[in-house]
Structures are given as structure tokens and as C-alpha cells.
Structure 1
Amino acid sequence: MFWADFIDKKVNDLSRKIWTTKGEELEAAKKGFFECLKLLEGELGEKPYFGGETLGYVDIAFLPFCCGFSTYETIGNFSIEAQLMSQDHCMG
């Protein structure tokens, strides 16, 4: 339930800000969004689903946001893949 709540509150709030803000607030929202994605990516690890081998509640909670990734990238003028790869490079 923790991760579904995290997605519902944190990811939802940040994705909405990507749609509705500009300037410094948009940049802060993008930074927070990338941090959330990195955290979720770490939690997912090498598993196909958050719950392991089967689709579960957290996967379903996150699905609407995944479907909107290209829209967030267009509106926010960024690449999720490039950003996450650059964070990996900085951390490694």
C-alpha cells in the first residue's frame, strides 16, 4: 500500500505540475519527478512487476503515469530516458 500511495500522491502531484507550471516551479517538478522515477526503478529492480512475477496493485496504480510519459516529455521539454541515464552516469 505504501508504494501505491506514493504514486497516487507524489507522482500524481509532480506530473500535474509538469503540465501546469513554468519556470523554476516546472524545473523543480521535473527534478522531483525524476527522483520519484529513480526510486521506483530501484524498487522494481530486475523484477518484471513490483510484486514479483505477477501484475499487482502497484503496477496498476503506476500504469496511467507510464502511459503519459511521452506527453510529459513533450510538455516539459525533456527525455525521461536521457535524464535517468545521466543520473546513472553521475552515480556510477
Structure 2
Amino acid sequence: MAESQGVKLLGFWVSPYVIRVKWALKLKGVEHEYIEEDIFNKSPLLLELNPVHGQVPVLVHDGKPISESIVILEYIDQVWKQIPLLPQDPFERAKARFWAKFAAEKLQQYAWKALCSRGEEHERAVKSSIEALEKMEEELNGKKYFGGDKIGFVDLVAGFLSYQLPVYEEIACMNILDSSKFPAITKWIDSFRNHPLIEQELPPKDKMLAYFSKRRKEILLVENQNASRK
């Protein structure tokens, strides 16, 4: 088993990318130092450790920085072998990577777009979010977790569904995750959120509502200003 000494995580409290890394470290039992960053006023340390993008999360292990949340999850799984996140079978491993990529690049992006848009663009984003959820529902296919009987790689990447999407829906007055249409995902959310190690790292809902309401207003204001100049 690899030593956990010298593990640090630079993050931002509400970032789903950071939270999925926190979950992985918790599940693996890896002791680490957490360093909160202000992503709107980036520290010299963050810019030094991630000079390409200047973004969180950044995992530092024995002085070596690793960036990008999904890359970090794979690194964690390879270094700390206990409680594997990815399947051992090559085909199942490839399939898990596919669905993690789908959740991150399709569903998560559509949901964010639905939060931060209006009119036809908003309607398209909601429709795309629902269509992506339909595919995730089929993949879950009665399993407790995407990883089977225990939380795995896909669950961590898709975990934003369990706590952040409902906040988006409340702020934008939209209905994406209909429990009657997505019974498997609804059941998965209950199991996932109630896992003690997952529950420990869920951001407070009131703080998320305030933060994302503000971000939405800022983004829509900029879009309105840009449209008025055309």
C-alpha cells in the first residue's frame, strides 16, 4: 500500500470536480491536507502547481502536482490499491471510463447550460439534459451503483446529480430529474447521498443556492450586455 504522507488537495468548496476527488480520498482512507482556494483570486501556489489552466482541483502527492479531476481519480486508484474504483476487467474498465466521460462532458455541461440560459437555448439545454439522463438511467439498469454493489468511478463523477442538480432546478424553476421518469437514478441518489463518507463532503444547500443564484445572474447579465452591443 502506498504511503499517504505528503498528500495535499487544492480545491474550492462548491466545485463538483473537487468534491469527487474528496470522495475518492475518503473512500480510499487517504489522509490529506485540504487547501481552500479562491478561484476568483487565484493564489501564487495554485498558479505554480497548475500553470496551464490555473484551475482546481490539484492533487499534490510527494511534491508532484496532478490536475484534472478524472485524471486525479485514476491516479488515486492506481496509487492506493485498496477499495478499487475502476473494474479490473479491461472491457468493464473501458465502459466505466466511457460513462464517466459521458456524465462529465454531456450531462454536467447540459445541466450547467440549462441553469445559465434563457428562452430557446434554455429549453434545448433542458431537453438535452433529460435525454442524457435517459441514457444514464438505462446504464444503471437496476444496479445499486453504477459500479455495481459499491460506489465506483462512474458514481463519483456522476455524483453532482445527487446534490447539485436539484439546486440548479430550484434556482431556474426547471424539472430535469423527474423521479417518476427516472426511478433507478432516484434510488441511486438516495443510496449515494446517504453513504456516510459521501454525506460528509456535501456542501450546505443554502450556501449552494446563494452561490449559484449569484453566478447565474452574473452570467445572464454579461450575455444581455453582449447582446445589446450587437
Superposed pair shares fold, TM > 0.5: yes
Correspondence 1:36 to 2:136: no
Instruction: Quote the Cα distance in structure 2 between the aligned partners of 1:14 and 1:83.
Output: 21
Give identity over the alignment, percent.
33
Alignment-derived partner of residue 90 in structure 1: none
Q: How many residue pairs align between the two structures?
A: 85
- Deviation of residue 83 (structure 1)? 7.5
Instruction: Quote the Cα distance in structure 2 between the aligned partners of 1:71 and 1:62.
Output: 15
- Deviation of residue 82 (structure 1)? 6.1
Alignment-derived partner of residue 120 in structure 2: 24
Correspondent of 1:7 among 91, 103, 106: 103
Distance 1:72 1:84, change over 3 A: farther
Report the more deviating stretch, 73-82 or 31-40.
Answer: 73-82
- Deviation of residue 66 (structure 1)? 2.2
Instruction: Quote the Cα distance in structure 2 between the aligned partners of 1:82 and 1:66.
Output: 12
Which has the higher relative contact order, 1 or 2, with Cα contacts under 8 A spaced 6 or more apart? 1
Alignment TM-score, normalising by the size of structure 2 = 0.35
Deviations 1:18-45 (A, max 9, x none): 1211000000000000111111011001
- Deviation of residue 84 (structure 1)? 2.7
Instruction: Quote the Cα distance in structure 2 between the aligned partners of 1:25 and 1:66.
Output: 24
**Which structure has the highest strand share of the two?**
2
Instruction: Quote the Cα distance in structure 2 between the aligned partners of 1:10 and 1:18.
Output: 12
Bigger Rg, structure 1 or 2: 2
Correspondent of 1:81 among 178, 184, 194: 178
Aligned partner letter, 1:19: L
Aligned partner letter, 1:36: A
Does the 8 A contact of 1:34 with 1:83 survive in 2?
no
Alignment TM-score, normalising by the size of structure 1 = 0.81
